[in-house]
Structure 1
Amino acid sequence: MIETLLERYVNGAEMQVWSEIIKLEDKINDSNHKEDVLKVIGVMMERIKYNLGLIHQELLNHDYQFSDYEQLNHYGYEEGIPINYRVSTLEMSKKVDIMTKNFESFGKLPLIVAEWYKNIDIVDFRGYFPALRSSVLLDPLFVHPLEAIVNTSILDYDNLEESYYLCFSPDQYGKEGISGGGGYGLYLKENVVADSLVVNFSNELTLVDYLRKAFKCGGFLGLNSLIIKNKNKPNYFVVGSDIKKHELIDNKIIEIAEFIASKTLMI
């Protein structure tokens, strides 16, 4: 009996299944495919929420100091208190339709983006470890909240690609209040697709690739250059012991990232 995409995904073929889904491109809108793809994304989103909740709690456990760096996240507040992680409510998730309509003239939102905002409202892990030294930009996970996307047109135009992209996060400099580039974005396609290439980070990565990389770095994309492949888990990366004495960063930060990464789920 042939396994469905969902069965293969939950049985450990996450990367292969998502690669096959991406190759469907706009054929994903065929009724034969879309239902199966949305089921896969549903499981993926549950794992993503688990990972984000885990990272948030572990950062608190390790005395991480969250910082808004001049309040780049204007919508991430509740009664004046900054919110670092919050899942979407049903009311907020309904605004995804508004967001979709706002950008129709520029392109279609990838399915993974629409489902992200139906499930997750705020992710803002910017900050630092007060007691630990780091000259490395940690580039922590930050995704513009739903309200910011709905109420503003965070879009840019790429002359080379001749298409628009949705800016979903500041770059590693902007996250720390330093003047940076155009931020990380996602290309908007003419037709609905499952995923899209990330702009200004690496054009070889889709959003799901970007999130996988972030989780494998314990939530800190800036540690990506300091990771090595774990030979016992070929699809999994952790911070390697050979770089634990990196002169620009306190060894403890790497240990914390390694610990968090080891507890995340594969998406």
Structure 2
Amino acid sequence: MIREFQGKYRWLSNFWPVTILYEDRVYPTVEHAYQAQKTSSLSERDWFTQNNDPSEAKAYGQTLTLRSDWNDVKIHIMKELTRIKYQNNFLRTQLINTGNQYLQEGNTWGDTFWGVNIITGQGKNNMGHILMEIRDELFLEHSLNTYLANHKKIVLFDGVCNLCNWWVRFLIRNDPHDTFRFAPLQSEVGRAIQAEYNINILGIRSVIVIDTYTTYTVKSSAIFSLARSMGGLWSLVNIFWILPVFIRDGIYDIIARNRYRWFGKQNTCMVPTNEVQHKFLT
């Protein structure tokens, strides 16, 4: 557990110097950028871009007349600014290297909203929770980059669909080069990957195959991608690639719409055995 953002963990503090570009303004720290968003006055926001001391920025921010929606948006804004901060390569690596440690913004000045009063032990620790959420996002991004850099394909599938689960087991048995990694669409990591790629699964209703960090395939194109990776006789499936997409995807959609009725479903996602656990993202 990291109890305070001081000493060797000072970089976790919003006072840490790092350029923050937010809404067309450049701020010297997250603290400057956050305090600036309290006001709707553009001239007051400009003040924060011209003064480097985060302590002065915090003090000045406390004198501002708050915008009317401040209490509704302040956590969202802090999350956005913190995400920007950890695009910095050094800070991103530092945050990832904290592993699974609980991050607590412990303080002695009585802030129980963003942190925890280390004297009383009371506080919501919202800043710590934001950092841990962003760390999880960075873990996922790092894992995706590692898998894809090693020519893996990530397969997102309906974890409660009997047909889909049979298909996953089939792929595992026919994966001679250990190419495939899997995650149920309903799982936490599956939802996170969908968010990372801006995938609207309700509008797709499909297995999703992620080939690179910027591209993915769905429906019949995803099936052809998997067949090519299996190699051997399975590559012959790609003969049907010559069919127009609307025909290929039309057949896929008919099966997808009826998959529960024809093949049944489970109440929970499949649980992989120990032998294949390494092929599932968690």
TM-score (norm 2): 0.21
TM-score (norm 1): 0.21
User: If you compute each CA radius of gyration, which structure gives the higher value, 1 or 2?
Assistant: 2
Greater RCO (Cα-Cα under 8 Å, separation 6 or more): 1
